[in-house]
Structure 1
Amino acid sequence: MWYEHFTDNKFISMIYTKVPTLKNLRIEKIEISREGDRLTVGFDLPFFADKPPKKWIEGRYTTTFVELDFFDIQEVSIKASSNTYRGDIDICKDEQTDLLIVNITGTVEAKIIAGSGIIQTVNGY
């Protein structure tokens, strides 16, 4: 599963009985920072957590938002055909190089090859 490629993945496993695949997502941001050394991808998961934290229930949240940070960027390409970003995200690890390979397809297309990644944020709103 996609989240197994990241450190700090316990929280997402705690709030979902089955963590959703990254299909038909609303992609909120793709951000390059630290002079190209870090790339952030932020998106809404396709369905809300089935075991949300108490704060989310009390706040009447209905959407789970995730930010993934990638470091040691080896390659990046981005192309968009719309100003509404929707798509699928496929994340795998190249066994020979130990690099993360991220492919985003949809109204925004991106390819990211990175040395490492973390689940930076999992929030409800």
Structure 2
Amino acid sequence: MTLESRLVNPEALLSLYGSVPDLRGVAIRSVNLSPIGPTVTLRVDLPSFPAGAPREWLDAGMDAVQCQLAFLDVTEVSLARWVPPTSGDVVMEPYGDEKRMRVSVEGRGVALEFECHDLATLSHVSAFKAQADGTDSGPHRFVSKVDTRLYESLPGTEVYTFYGR
């Protein structure tokens, strides 16, 4: 099964990249564990900037793309290491017989594993200019029209509708 087939809604990435980029060597910006659901949401920077990026992004000097991946019906969570800033590989593999998958996020500063429903939801795709210190502060250009209306940059962590809490 391809990464694209593991996403409920890959259209935003398909329109930018032509295919869903591999999730190896991505910057892991945040891990949100929600008891409502239960859900795990990862905020990651994709490993490359799309060759066919929108003119608006290029004109604004954007050079990185970020998104969130939400995993539902999560069980067996193990967060053994979290020392941000970090990068790593997000791997999704079939697990068991009942539409489940095993997700592992492993890399420098992160070791996370869990089981979940076999599909992830993609959201909050945006472009930004990586700061000299590697942060993602500053303006973001969102793909979603709703996100574009609501946010010019990443909202504070108290905005639970953005971070999936």
Q: 2:123 aligns with which of 110, 117, 120?
A: 120
Is there any run of 5+ residues in structure 1 with no aligned partner, and where?
none
Quote the offset at 1:52 in angstroms.
1.8
- 2:153 equivalent in structure 1: none
TM-score scaled by length of structure 1: 0.87
Q: Given residue 111 of structure 2, which amino acid in structure 1 is its aligned partner? A: E
State how far apart, in whole Å, the 1-side matches of 2:101 and 2:15 are: 24
1:92–1:101 Cα contact (<8 Å) kept:
yes
In structure 2, relative to structure 1, the CA distance for the partners of 1:81 and 1:31 (3 Å cut) is: closer
- 1:87 equivalent in structure 2: 88
Higher relative contact order (CA 8 A, sep 6+): 1
Please tell me whether residue 5 in structure 1 is matched to residue 6 in structure 2: yes
Q: Which runs of 4+ in 1 moved over 3 A?
A: none
Q: Given residue 106 of structure 2, which amino acid in structure 1 is its aligned partner? A: T
Is there any run of 5+ residues in structure 2 with no aligned partner, and where?
129-165
- 1:63 equivalent in structure 2: 64
State how far apart, in whole Å, the 2-side matches of 1:109 and 1:36 are: 22
SS at match of 2:98: coil
- 1:111 equivalent in structure 2: 113
What is the percent sequence identity of the aligned residues?
Answer: 21
- 2:138 equivalent in structure 1: none
The CA RMSD over aligned residues, in Å, is 1.9
State how far apart, in whole Å, the 1-side matches of 2:32 and 2:26 are: 17
TM-score scaled by length of structure 2: 0.68
Q: Given residue 124 of structure 2, which amino acid in structure 1 is its aligned partner? A: T
Larger Cα-atom Rg: 2
State how far apart, in whole Å, the 2-side matches of 1:11 and 1:82 are: 30
1:2–1:92 Cα contact (<8 Å) kept:
no
Q: Given residue 126 of structure 2, which amino acid in structure 1 is its aligned partner? A: N
- 2:152 equivalent in structure 1: none
Residues 17-50 of structure 1, C-alpha deviations (whole Å, 9 max, x = no match) = 3432111111000101244612100111111012
